[in-house]
Amino acid sequence: MRLLPAAVTLFLAVGVAYYVYVPLPAGIREPWKLMMVDAVFRTAMQLTSLKHRLGLDPYFKCICESTEGLGSLVKGLLASESGGGVMPGVKVSDVTFAGVPVRVYEPPAGGEGHLRRGLMYFHGGGWAHGSAKMGGYDTNSRTMSDELNAVVVSVEYRLYPEVHFPAPYLDCLAAAKHFLSQEVLAKYAIDPERVAVSGDSAGGNLAAAVAQEISTDDTMSGKFSVQALIYPVLQALDFNTPSYLENENIPILYRTLMVHFWLQYLGVDLSLQPQFLANNHSSSQHFTPELRARLDWTVLLSPKHRKNYKQLIVEKGLERLAKEVPGLLDVRASPLLAEPEVLAKCPRAYILTCEYDVLRDDGLMYARRLQDAGVSVTNDHYQDGFHGCFSFIPWLEFDVGKRAFRAYVNWLQNNL
């Protein structure tokens, strides 16, 4: 009978190991930590999805409650370790900009007459998850406010399933225009010539789209001086780029999951995911050569990233989608599709990309297109980086994430 508990324990241990283990490339330096994080993320998403299917709670409410709770836990742990809050000199306020909820971080007051930097940040999460109040985002915002002497505004744009495109973009644009107004800049003592827009993943998508719109809006006197994009998602027409294929099974952003996020954002039937994975949604009958050239990775990527992959161009696909889902070709959803004339007006850029990320090529192509349009671009590429490494909560930090965040802050210090 003594063998039974041991057998049960062994069975459970094997089961947990099987659930947690994901084959990872040798270039990822802390593989088991990433596997554990991925297992937690997968479990949380599965439980939330189950709760939603059972009708126990609205999906977006589940996400908000879980992220706010996580943020509170993070702050509580950090306070217990340090004897106080994170960056105690930073003032934090939850207000609204043009009706959009935002969290404002103000650095310790400086001398009279000293203007500060301004930075507007859009969090990631596939337009369905995330919050400025989450531990990683909250901690990063406090750190940036303190170290950069910047007023950081983190935007709580609406999420799926409450809304689809273009609502999150419109929320971010409205908040950005409010932030750049002379009255608001003066209120927070911000130098109008030193205001940045930034974001990671889906937030990088929103930051790029907002930067394009404001740069070309002649009615606005206030403009962003720089844009800083962290592994941004920039197009929904080609899910067979080398990075999508090479990294399709790398945590925490799997290829199927990114396509799932796009379908949700654009309001497309989720059953069409296989069609999108096969690029049947972007057949050449609706995709002009001029438009295709704007994300032609056979030209825009270096040979080391093109490798031996072949471009997948479908001649005839889902004909109705171009009309039924106009967001597919909308530059507000896919900033990589912007015309060269639009890109030429954009502010100088910082683009962070990771080798083990399905979105790697989106960022690399955008950097190339901005450079071709005459925009100054700094591309920090992390050979050991993976999606999400930049914004994990403090006790789940990765060495590559620490290096990436430090380089990002240093760039802003020198360029903003």
* Residue whose token pair is 């949604």: 281
Reference 235, options 350, 379, 333, 354; nearest CA is: 333
Sheet of 190-200: strand order equals 91-97, 100-106, 150-155, 116-122, 190-200, 226-230, 348-356, 377-386
Classify burial at 320, counting beta carbons within 10 Å of its beta carbon; exposed 0-12, middle 13-18, buried 19 or more: exposed
Which one is catalytic: 200, 357, 362, 384? 357
Is residue 278 a contact partner of residue 342, using CB atoms and an 8 Å limit? no
Whether 357 sits among the annotated catalytic residues: the reply is yes
Nearest Cα residue to 223 out of 113, 330, 333, 348: 348
What is the rounded CA–CA span in Å between residue 195 and residue 119? 6
- Omega prior to 347 cis, within 30 of 0: no
Q: Which of 178, 286, 305, 387 is catalytic?
A: 387
Active site residue 387: yes
Which residues are 152's β-sheet partners?
105, 119
Using a 10 angstrom Cβ sphere, with 0-12 exposed, 13-18 middle and 19 or more buried, the burial of residue 23 is exposed
Kind and range of the H or E element at 386? strand 377-386
State the distance between the two ends of the chain, measured CA to CA, in whole angstroms.
Answer: 69
Helix (H, G, I), strand (E, B) or coil at 61: helix
Structure tokens at 14: 């094997």
Among 264, 280, 347, 291, smallest CA distance to 316 is for: 280
CA distance 387 to 25: 14
Say if CB 351 and CB 379 are below 8 A apart: yes
Q: Active-site residue 201, yes or no?
A: yes
State the catalytic residue, choosing from 131, 141, 198, 201. 201
Provide the annotated active-site residues: 201, 357, 387
